[in-house]
Every structure is written in C-alpha cells, then in structure tokens.
Structure 1
Amino acid sequence: MANSNILADRLREVFLNGTWIANTNYKDQLVSLDWHVAITELYSFNTIAALAQHIHYYVAGVKNVFAHGKLEISDVYSFDFPEIKSQQDWDRFLNLFWQDCEDLALYVERLTDEELEKDFVNPMYGDFKRNIDAMIEHSYYHLGQIVLIKKGLKVI
C-alpha cells in the first residue's frame, strides 16, 4: 500500500470510522452528542465543542493547502469560532467536519511518495508527511480529552 493511502486511512480512522488506536473516533464520540452537552464546561477544561472545532480548524486549513496552495491558518486563531447556540448549529458543524475530513483524506491519498516529501508550503514547516502525521497525533490527543470530558459529564 502506498504511503499516501496509509496516511489517508489513518486520517479516516481518527475522524470517521476507526477503532484501532483509541477504540473510538471523532464521529463515534460526537455524532449523537446533544449540543447542550457539547458546550457544557467541566472544570476549566475546553468544551467538547471547542475541542472539535479546534481540530476542524486544522483539518480545514490543511485541506485549503491542497485546494488552493495557501496556508491561511494560525495557531493564535485555532480556538476562535462561532458559538454553538442550537442543535442545528452543532449538526451543521459536524456535517462540515465529516465532509472536510473525508475531503482531506481524498487529497492525501492522491499524493505520490515524492510529493509527501516536499515542503509543506514553507520549508520551516517540514514536509507534507510530517504535517499529516502531526495532525493525526494532535487529533488523537484531543480525542482523548473529549472522551475524558464525556466521562466527567457522565454521557458515555
């Protein structure tokens, strides 16, 4: 299997359908979650909605690199997004999240091994493979937080 296919499968696994690493994925944790729970604060932790939107920010930003060749995101804005005020807002966000995750996986699986080794926009960011791997690791980190917050809110 090509390296790009392996990375695309790993993206789908963490976001859409996998259970191998964490025995769960974002879609499994969020798809049936009521919006009230998603925005409920537990201690001083980020909310589930904030963590999901944070990860989506990076998915959409990297997807934009593939679509338009531009990196237009910045860590400083990675927690700035519209407030979720209804189930409709939450469902709209989730649908966009799932679609962007699948779109990103489709872009990634089209890469050749040579393209995976090319600079990601700027040499200071490393190559495409490193950035995709980092996104997967970052996503698992926050997925673990979501699972723990759900347990703290007793909704698992």
Structure 2
Amino acid sequence: MSSTSHLAKRFREVLLYGLWIANTNFKDQLKDITWEQATTKIGSLNTIAMLTFHIHYYIAGLINVFEGGDLEIKDKYSFDLPSIESQEQWDKLLNKLFDDAEKFANLLQQMPNSKMDEVFVDEKYGTYLRNIDGLIEHSYYHLGQITLIKKLLIN
C-alpha cells in the first residue's frame, strides 16, 4: 500500500469508520448526539459541537491547499463555531464534516507518494506528511475528548 493510501486509510479510520486505535471514530460517536447535547457546556470543557467544528475547520483548510488554494485557516478562528439552535443546523455541520472527511481522504489518496516529502505551503509548517500526520493525531486527541464529554452528558 502506498504511503498516501495508508494515510488516507488512517484518516478514514479516525473520522469515518475505524475501530483500530480508539475502538471508535467521529461518525460513531456523533451519530446519536442531539443538537442540545452537542451544545451543552460542561464546566470549562469545550462543547461537542465546538470540537466537531474545530476538526472540520482544519480538514477544510487542508482541502483548500490540496486543491491548489492558499492556506487560509488561522488557529485563532478554529473554535469560532456559529450558533447552533436546531437539529437541522447540527446535522448540517455533521454532514459537512463527514463529506469533507471523505473528500480529504480521496484527495490524499490521489497524491503521489513523493508529495509527502515536499514543503507544505511554507517551510515553517514542515512537510505534507508532517501536517497530515498532525491532523490525524489531532483528530484522535479531540475524539477522546468528545467520547468523554458524551459519557458525562449521558450519565
């Protein structure tokens, strides 16, 4: 399996259907969360909706680069979730996350393996591989948070 195919598989595992690392994934954890639960604040923790938006923000930003655009995302805006006040709005965010996750994986899979060693936008960001690995690890980190917050909400 090529390295880009392997990375795409790892990415799909954390977002869409995998069980290997965390025995769960974003899609599985979020499928039965209502908009009220997603927006419920527990102490100083981020809400599930904020974490979902946050991960999608980075996926969308990398898609833009993969498609030839500029790196337009900024960390300071990565939690700027628009207000969610209905199940329809929550479902729209989830659908966008999962659609873009599949789009990201497809774009990644189509890249030549040699692209992984190239500079990602600017030398200060390292290589494509470093950024893709970082997104996967970052996603697992927030998946763990979502899983724990969900347990707190249900109990």
Q: TM-score range by the shorter chain?
A: over 0.9
Q: Does 2:27 align with 1:3?
A: no
What's the counterpart of residue 86 of structure 1?
Answer: 86
Query: Aligned equivalents of 1:119 and 1:10: distance in 2?
Result: 21
Q: Secondary structure at the match of 1:68?
A: coil
Matching residue of 2:104 = 104
1:74 and 2:74 equivalent?
yes
Question: Any gaps of 5 or more consecutive residues in structure 2?
Answer: none
What does 1:1-156 align with in structure 2 at a 5 Å threshold?
Answer: 1-154=1-154
The runs of 5 or more residues in structure 1 that have no matched partner are none
- Quote the Cα distance in structure 2 between the aligned partners of 1:106 and 1:123: 25
Aligned residue identity for 2:43 = Y
Is the 1:69–1:121 Cα contact (8 Å) retained in structure 2?
A: no
The root-mean-square deviation of aligned C-alpha atoms, in Å, is 0.9
SS in 1 for 2:44: coil
Identical pairs, percent: 53
The alpha carbon displacement at 1:31 in A equals 1.8
Q: CA deviation at 1:81?
A: 2.4
Please report the TM-score for the alignment, with normalisation by the length of structure 1: 0.97
CA contact (8 A) 1:15 1:98 kept: yes
Q: Distance in 2 between matches of 1:124 and 1:65?
A: 16
User: 4+ residue stretches of structure 1 with deviation over 6 A?
Assistant: none
Give the residue type in structure 2 aligned to 1:95. Answer: N
TM-score by length of 2: 0.97
User: How far apart, in 2, do the equivalents of 1:90 and 1:134 lie?
Assistant: 26
- In 2, the alpha carbon distance for the partners of 1:54 and 1:83 equals 14
Offset at residue 69 of structure 1 (A)? 3.0
Q: How many residues align?
A: 155
Equivalent-residue separation in structure 2 for 1:68 and 1:74 (angstroms): 18
Distance in 2 (alpha carbons) for counterparts of 1:3 and 1:53: 28
